Amino acid sequence: MSQVLDVASTIRKIEIERLGVTTSKPFDVVAAALEAAIGRPDMVEFFKATNSAWTFADLESSVHSGLGRTGLMMFMKLDHGAILRKETGLDTTTGKLEPDEKGIC
């Protein structure tokens, strides 16, 4: 791989803030509310718009148009449980990752 990528690398420390929420609502209700507030742009159109941006303002506008009311955007959704079940042999489904009702795996 070092022959393919002839680049210098740097390690940079970043600070991350974690937010915890305590609620009496069921997990599924909270997760559904958060998921509903996340933007889901058409990724083909999003890619075209960001690549055709000539200025930072154009790029910023393309990105902002894909954000949900939380200021977040979903690029991909994976069912990590399904992956772990396949790895451990506990998967009793067809053995394939099936998309949800929105076509997201």
Q: Please state whether the predicted TM-score (pTM) of the whole model is above 0.85.
A: no
Helices (H), 1-105: 27-36, 43-52, 56-65, 80-88
Write the burial class of residue 84 (CB in 10 Å: 0-12 exposed, 13-18 middle, 19+ buried): exposed
pLDDT-derived band at 9 (thresholds 50, 70, 90) equals confident
pLDDT-derived band at 1 (thresholds 50, 70, 90) equals very low
pLDDT-derived band at 89 (thresholds 50, 70, 90) equals confident
Q: Are 10 and 44 in contact (CB under 8 A)?
A: no
- Asked whether residue 18 carries a pLDDT value surpassing 90, the answer given is no
Q: Is the dihedral of CA 10, 13, 14, 20 positive or negative?
A: positive
